[in-house]
Structure 1
């Protein structure tokens, strides 16, 4: 099974949580679209079909990440 980069996964989970909070507060079509986008990306990244499953998979993968894994990784072309 492919595993997401832990730094990327952490960012996705944080972004999901922030957008979920923002959408609960704002309830706009724009906040909904952003939440749907990050939810989709989180599911694809974790190989799941639902957000609750994606969050469980993310937590499991992050716990399994090797200690001292770089917090940030940038890919360049």
Structure 2
């Protein structure tokens, strides 16, 4: 499994946070869809199916500073099980 770079994870987390804030401020069909889309993106990037798990996994990857911190270096043992 390819691991996302820290920059990609941070960008996805930022888009998700913005979508959540916007949706909670004034929910519309568009804000709900954006929130769902950004949650899905995080799930795909982290290899999990629940946004809470995706947030936790993204946090762990960013704090670990392992292969995700080195673009192009992938160790199969670091893959997040699906």
With structure 1 as the length reference, what TM-score do the two structures score? 0.80
| Structure 2 residues without counterparts, runs of 5 or longer | 71-82
The 5-angstrom pairing of residues 1-77 of structure 1 reads 1-65=1-65
Deviation at 1:63, TM superposition (A): 0.8
Structure 1 unaligned segments of length 5 or more: list them.
71-77
Separation (CA, whole Å) in 2 of partners of 1:41 and 1:65: 21
Q: CA separation in 2, counterparts of 1:4 and 1:64?
A: 13
Deviation at residue 35 of structure 1 after TM alignment: 0.7
**Structure 1 consecutive aligned stretches of length 4 or more whose deviation exceeds 6 Å:** none
| Superposed CA offset, 1:10-54 (max 9, x none) | 011111111101000111000011111111000000001000000
Total equivalences in the alignment: 68
So what's the TM-score if we normalise by structure 2?
0.76
Tell me, in whole angstroms, the C-alpha distance in 2 between the residues paired with 1:12 and 1:59.
12
- C-alpha root-mean-square deviation of aligned residues, in Å? 1.6
